[in-house]
Amino acid sequence: KKVVYLFREGRADMKFLLGGKGANLAEMTRSRLPVPPGFTISTEACSSFFAANETLTEDTMGQVRAAIRQLETETGKRLGDSQNPLLVSVRSGSVFSMPGMMDTILNLGLNDETAEGLAKLTRNPRFAYDCYRRFIQMFGDVVLGVDYYHFEQIIHSRKEAQGYKQDTEMSAEDWKWVIGQFKSLIREKTKKEFPQDPEHQLKQSIIAVFQSWNNQRAQIYRKIHKIPDHLGTAVNIQMMVFGNMGDDSGTGVAFTRNPSTGEKELYGEFLMNAQGEDVVAGVRTPQPIARLKQQMPAVYQQFQEICNLLEQHYHDMQDIEFTVERGQLYILQTRAGKRTAQAAVKIAVNMVEEGIIDRDQALMRVDPDQLNQMLHRRLDPEAKLTVIAKGLPASPGAASGKIVFDADRAEKCAHDGTPVILVRPETTPEDIHGILAAQGILTSRGGMTSHAAVVARGMGKACICGCEQLEIDLRKKEVAIGELLLREGDLISIDGSTGQVIQGEVPLIDPELSAEFKQLLDWADQVRTLQVRANADNPEDSAKARELGAEGIGLCRTEHMFMEAGRVPIVQQMILAETRDERLQALQKLLPMQKEDFKGIFEVMAGLPVNIRLLDPPLHEFLPNIEDLLVELTKMQMDEQSDRTELIRKEALLRKVRSLHEFNPMLGHRGCRLGLIYPEIYKMQAEAIFLAAAECLKQGIQVEPEIMIPLVGHVNELRQMRELVDQAAEEVQLKTGCTIPYTVGTMIEVPRAALTAGEIAEEADFFSFGTNDLTQTTFGYSRDDAEGKFLHTYVENKILPDNPFITLDTEGVGQLVRMGVEQGRMKKPGLKTGICGEHGGEKRSIQFCHEVDLNYVSCSPFRVPLARLSAAQAVI
Ligand code: ADP
Ligand code: MG
Ligand code: MG
């Protein structure tokens, strides 16, 4: 089986076989761009490697050797030839790009002899030894497992002894000394000599790169970005070109557009006299690409042309790695650039305007999950700030938190709920879990194209890089900025849009929605067929929802209104009432308050439907908890001075709380079961809704109330509650002389309701699928118990593909939804259907809602943009 492909044999669409890097190197080779020759070992070889217990099959190695011979013919150099050695890089490259998460080895093929040969051939011993020491270092780290840090230590000691500041000051002799030390280090750590045979080096490197698929950081990265574990990585073997040959050489990375803001400008960095890793690893802070224009105008011009070409070719913003060897430009990688949400939206819209992509493509370009980033609060530009330092604005957004200096600590703090800013000299891919946990990232070294910055942008985290004023002491856990000394736990803020580091916390304000954001969502609205509503239960949230494009309220929970300050005692009075009269008295007090609640929402949502759910939770949720009460009572009983009547009241309360105690409240006396046993509660709510509606109508405000009865399982429940609501409506209409355009419907949130949807539809004007409860009752999981106890393990061990409370279980719960819609519509064509569970704001669930032909999804106000885009993507 063919598992090795020369670059000229591949194409961009062979990404699953060749990995992203390999497929694009092939595509560029085809397009006659200056790509050093090479070949790719496919992801299938990786799978065979793991299937064969991590051994490289003889078949694979045979094909590799044959490809090496091809490469030798093509380049006129030979692997291991001391006169004219072929040097190659061994580069990982998975299907979906995972910047820096896996390993790469450069300058392979060097040994004591070929290093001398290279020195003679190039008449540049300094360069040859620099290459050799880099190779030993990478091979030692990646293949032999000798910590990178030990190598750095040796270089550092030499620089110190010689009084150098930069690596570039090291002479041939210095590097030669370093090489000697490196080899001793390896002998000491591995009890073996550094391997001299290039073929052995090659085989071991391929194995190590395959294995790096399973290193910890790669696993974490895959989990965060939902990349399947079985894909594996390809390996690219490529002739080396050298950016470290002197001052007419260098290496760099550039984005064809600004990946933070989306601005159309070349955004990149480069280092003179360096090898690739130096830029992306974030060890040295490189120079902005504009400098290249001054230093090598012809190269810059050529590079810019290639950038344009690649963008046109791939119809997307590209992230390009390049190297200049003695004035000659080489392209080493191109891929779709990772970008922030803001940039994603701007680039998509601009590219439509530039005619590079069409609207549908633009809509598919933006991940709905990313949109929330754009709704993050931002720094108040009016605020007075104590700016203490400035670095490179690597990923926008404002973040505040306590300083921590390592990733493990960041993870721990975040786990305890403390927001932190991860402060590091540089971040390496090893820090990925810390980057995920932190609110923001601040580094003293590294550029805007460093892996840390790329990863932060991909996650939408605020990030500042290369803030060189910071003097970080990791051991003492301190950072000095001039005179100022900050310690772990001190509060700082960063603004990733400007690069400002600020002492203390900062005031945040609502985001400004860009013109491109509105444009894209406008296009989404033209495409989608699902309507988007919001879940909101007060005028502020309703206004926010409307501003973000909601076309109505899909769920207004009335229980939150009962919890509002000042109302709890009245609600308790209602619950504690011993007689119906007493209960009615309390309800009469609540009525005007509820009426005002609804009026506020109706006013904001004028002209749009508002779906109001009558009281749903078990009553004990409004009462104090038993333990607290007991403690209080004991205290009162022991205190001579305590008020007798208060004591008696508390005792009565305790009795009532005890009597309302349920073994399983989720399945207890709640939902319409409350309305059936205490009809006066629902009656009051219905009256309040209609009175509010009538008042609005009189003021010329259009209203469209939808009254929703929760937790119905049998049609009789709905029939009786509907009668009650209709009666309330009639009374109010009679009293006010208004005709109120209302409808009555139900939630479908227990399996029996879905199973008997046909019958229920006879009494319902609409169905709203309450998929939170429907998931609980279908799986038989109590959500609060499941999430803490076993669901996590279930997902981890792939017993369930996803947490069903986050992503709708389309195979189980979804079938009930599908069945409910079909049977309901069979009985009542045109029955309005929607979803109001948390799934209404999740992209994959929205896709499903579109497929089963719901009329609308409803989600929290801030998810409305996400839902609009997802609904459009479901159509495309
Ligand atoms: P990563 O996936 O971590 O970016 P790469 O395989 O892209 O790893 O390699 C890291 C760096 O090494 C690149 O930035 C590139 O500039 C440099 N590099 C890789 N192969 C070569 C080569 N054949 N010649 C010169 N530099 C190379
Ligand atoms: Mg790369
Ligand atoms: Mg419910």
As a three-state string, the secondary structure of 180-202 is: HHHHHHHHHHHCCCCCCCHHHHH
Q: Which domains does the chain have, with CATH numbers?
A: 243-339 (3.30.470.20), 379-509 (3.50.30.10), 528-618+662-875 (3.20.20.60), 625-661 (no CATH)
> Model confidence at 445, in pLDDT bands (50, 70, 90)?
confident
Ligand lying closest to the C-alpha of residue 429: 1
Pocket of ligand 1 (CB under 6 A): 36, 89, 91-92, 99-100, 104, 106, 238-241, 251, 276-277, 280, 321, 323, 332-333
Chain centre distance of CA 374? 13
Q: What integer pLDDT is reported at residue 204 of this predicted model?
A: 96
Active site residue 672: no
- DSSP letter for each residue of 57-92: -HHHHHHHHHHHHHHHHHHS-BTT-SSSB--EEEEE
Mean pLDDT of 543-562: 93
If you measure from the C-alpha of residue 99 to the centroid of ligand 2, how many angstroms do you get, rounded to a whole number? Answer: 7
Residue 178 CB: number of other CB atoms within 10 A? 23
Cα 129 to middle of ligand 2, angstroms: 24
Helix, coil or strand: residue 620 = helix
> Residue 522's pLDDT band (boundaries 50, 70, 90)?
very high
Using alpha carbons only, give the angle 51, 57, 62 rounded to the nearest 5 degrees.
Answer: 150
Q: For residue 280, what pLDDT band results from cuts at 50, 70 and 90?
A: low
Tell me what pLDDT residue 220 has. 87
DSSP secondary structure of 380-434: -TTS---EEEE-EEEE--EEEEEEE-SHHHHHHHHHTT--EEEEESS--GGGHHH
* Model confidence pLDDT, tens digit, residues 669-683: 999 999 999 999 999
Catalytic residue from among 451, 620, 839, 850: 451
Share of the chain above pLDDT 90, in %: 72
As a dihedral over the C-alpha atoms of residue 500, residue 504, residue 510, residue 511, rounded to 10 degrees, the angle is 20
- The pLDDT of 714-737, averaged and rounded, is 97
The predicted structure's pLDDT at residue 282: 60
- Bridge partners (DSSP) of residue 404 are 422
Q: Residue 832: is its pLDDT beyond 80?
A: yes
Residue pLDDT, tens place only, 198-230: 999 999 999 999 999 999 889 888 988 889 999
Identify which of 24, 25, 40, 91 to mutate to test ligand 1's pocket (most ligand atoms within 8 A of the CB). 91
CB of 41 within 8 A of CB of 3? yes
CB 458 within 8 A of CB 397: no
Mean per-residue pLDDT, 599-616: 97
pLDDT at 4: 97
Residue 367: DSSP 8-state: -
Is 451 known to be catalytic? Answer: yes
pLDDT-based confidence at 186, cuts 50/70/90?
Answer: very high
Q: Which of 332, 428, 430, 449 to mutate to test the pocket of ligand 1 (most atoms within 8 A of CB)?
A: 332
pLDDT of 350 > 90? The answer is yes
The pLDDT value recorded for residue 747 is 97
Q: Indicate the top mutation candidate among 40, 88, 104 to test ligand 1's pocket, ranked by most ligand atoms within 8 A of CB.
A: 104
Looking at the DSSP bridge assignments, the partners of residue 287 are 270
Q: Cβ of 622: how many Cβ atoms within 10 Å?
A: 18
Q: Given the residues 46, 738, 836, 849, select the one marked as catalytic.
A: 836
pLDDT at 415 over 80: yes
- Report in angstroms the alpha-carbon separations of 719 from 308, 424, 637, 745: 66, 64, 49, 10
Banded model confidence at residue 454, pLDDT cuts 50, 70, 90: confident
Res. 579: pLDDT tops 90: no
What's the gap between Cα 273 and its chain centre? 36
Nearest ligand to the CA of 97 is: 1
pLDDT confidence band for 577 (50 / 70 / 90): confident
Dihedrals φ, ψ of 453, to 5°? -65, -40
Band (533; pLDDT cuts 50, 70, 90): very high
| CA gap 508, 376 in Å, rounded | 9
Distance 575 CA to ligand 3 centre (A): 21
Distance 322 CA to ligand 2 centre (A): 10
The annotation status of 770 as a binding-site residue, yes or no, is yes
Give the Cα-Cα-Cα angle 250, 255, 256 (nearest 5 degrees). Answer: 115
Q: What is the mean pLDDT of residues 662-671?
A: 90
- Contacting residues for 850 by C-beta, under 8 A, at least 6 apart: 529, 530, 871, 874, 875
Q: What average pLDDT does range 432-452 have in this prediction?
A: 85
Helix (H, G, I), strand (E, B) or coil at 321: strand
Mean pLDDT (whole number) for 467-481 = 92
Contact between 49 and 65 (Cβ < 8 Å): no
The residue whose C-alpha atom lies closest to atom 18 belonging to ligand 1 is: 276
CA 404, distance to chain mean position in Å, is: 22
Task: Find out whether 562 and 627 touch, Cβ atoms under 8 Å.
Answer: no
The ligand 1 atom at the shortest distance from the C-alpha of residue 38 is 23
Q: Report which bound ligand comes closest to the CA of 322.
A: 1
Average pLDDT of the residues in 267-273: 90
pLDDT in tens, 39-85: 999 999 999 999 999 999 999 999 999 999 999 999 999 999 999 99
**What is the rounded average pLDDT of the residues 773-794?**
89
Q: Which residues have C-beta within 8 Å of that of residue 586, sequence separation ≥ 6? A: 570, 571, 573, 574, 577
Residue 246 has what pLDDT? 86
pLDDT of the residue at 283? 63
Average confidence score pLDDT of the chain? 92
Residue 579, marked binder: no
Residues 6+ apart with CB under 8 A from 610: 552, 553, 556, 598, 601, 602, 703, 704, 705, 706
DSSP class of residue 618? -
Q: Tell me how crowded residue 573 is: count the other CB atoms within 10 A of its CB.
A: 16
Return the SS3 of 362.
helix
Neighbours of 693 (CB within 10 A): 27
Sign of the torsion angle spanned by Cα atoms 747, 751, 756, 758: positive
Both structure tokens of 566: 């000042």
CA–CA distances in Å: residue 504 to residues 402, 470, 498 = 9, 16, 17
Contacts of 792 (CB under 8 A, 6+ apart): none
